[in-house]
Amino acid sequence: MRLPLAIACIASAAVLSGAVMAAAPKAIVPAQPETVTIGSLSYWYGPVEFSHAKHASLAGDCTSCHHKSDGQATPCVTCHPAESDPGDASALILKVAYHDRCLACHKAASSGPVSCTGCHARKAVPDPATGRPRQNPSKP
């Protein structure tokens, strides 16, 4: 008589634990854009448009790119200024932060572009002296 009672207790515990697990809340993943355009620094080269969904699935974890996000995927410009700040030499400027993060991953994975025009379209920038387009990537 004890064996059927033991089996009934084990079966009941299994059913109840399954019900509790099914009722447990699932992790909430914030909505993610399908594509992202990074264009805040596009003087010589065009903005970069990439598949956020593809990169997110390859990275597997938001902090691979959003490394100081505290659970919120904040834009890079939140921590990295577009221009250098003499008062804060510790913060990488935005251009360096983008290139360090993207190129390091592309090189480590031996996949993805690593040249300027692999990500950016080249732009013809007007020469301040003549107004004619030039392709020289030195600062104006």
Both tokens assigned to 12: 């009941």
Residue pLDDT, tens place only, 100-128: 989 999 999 999 999 988 998 888 777 77
Residue pLDDT, tens place only, 20-32: 344 444 444 567 7
Both tokens assigned to 47: 């903005």
Whether 55 contacts 49, CB under 8 Å: no
Q: Quick one: CATH architecture of 35-134?
A: Alpha-Beta Complex (3.90)
Both tokens assigned to 95: 């251009």
The alpha carbons of the chain give a radius of gyration, in whole angstroms, of 25
59 vs 124, higher pLDDT: 59
Q: What residues does each domain of the chain span? A: 35-134
DSSP state at residue 91: S
User: From CA 123, how far away is CA 135, in angstroms rounded?
Assistant: 7
